[in-house]
Amino acid sequence: MTKSRDITITEVALRDGSHAIGHQYTLEQVTAVSKALDEANVPYIEVSHGDGLGGSSQQFGTSLTDEMKLIEAAVSVSKQAKVAVLLLPGVGTMKDLRQAADIGAKMARVATHVTEADVSPQHINLAKELGMETVGFLMMSHMAPVAKLVEQAKLMESYGADTVYVVDSAGALLPYEVRERIRAMRQELTVNIGFHGHNNLSLAMANTLVAIEEGATRIDGSIRCLGAGAGNTQTEVLIAVLERMGLNTGVDLYKMMDLAENIVAPILKKPQEIAKDSLVMGYAGVYSSFLLHAQRAAKQFDIDSRDILIELGKRKVVGGQEDMIIDVASEIAKRQKIVNA
What would the pLDDT profile of 252-280 be if each residue is shown by its tens digit? 999 999 999 999 999 998 889 999 999 99
Residue 198 marked as a ligand binder: yes
288-321 tens-digit pLDDT: 889 989 999 999 999 999 999 999 999 998 878 8
Q: Please, which residues have CB within 8 angstroms of residue 10's CB and are 6 or more apart in sequence?
A: 43, 44, 45, 46, 84, 107, 194, 218, 219, 220, 221
Tell me: pLDDT of 341 over 50.
yes
Residue 179 marked as a ligand binder: no
**d(C-alpha 319, C-alpha 164), whole Å:** 19
228-246 tens-digit pLDDT: 999 999 999 999 999 999 9
**d(C-alpha 21, C-alpha 3), whole Å:** 36
35-51 tens-digit pLDDT: 999 999 999 999 999 99
Contact indicator for 20, 227 with CB cutoff of 8 Å: yes
Query: Whole-number mean pLDDT of the chain?
Result: 95
Phi, psi of 234 (to 5 degrees): -75, 115
In the predicted model, what is the mean pLDDT of residues 210-219? 98
Domains, in order of start, for the chain: 8-267 (3.20.20.70), 276-340 (1.10.8.60)
Residue 169 marked as a ligand binder: yes
**In 3D, which of 16, 46, 9, 41 has the Cα closest to residue 199?**
16
Any idea which residues carry the catalytic annotation? 19
Tell me: pLDDT of 191 over 50.
yes
What percentage of the chain's residues is helix, strand, coil (to nearest 5)? 50, 15, 35
Residue 23 marked as a ligand binder: no
pLDDT > 70 in the chain, percent: 99
Question: 283: how many CB neighbours lie within 10 A of its CB?
Answer: 17
Residue 196 marked as a ligand binder: yes
In the predicted model, what is the mean pLDDT of residues 6-28? 97
In the predicted model, what is the mean pLDDT of residues 20-27? 96
Contact indicator for 182, 212 with CB cutoff of 8 Å: no
Q: Which residues pair with 220 in a beta bridge?
A: 10
Model pLDDT, residue 3 = 53
pLDDT > 90 in the chain, percent: 91
Question: 217: how many CB neighbours lie within 10 A of its CB?
Answer: 17
pTM for the predicted model, two decimal places: 0.94
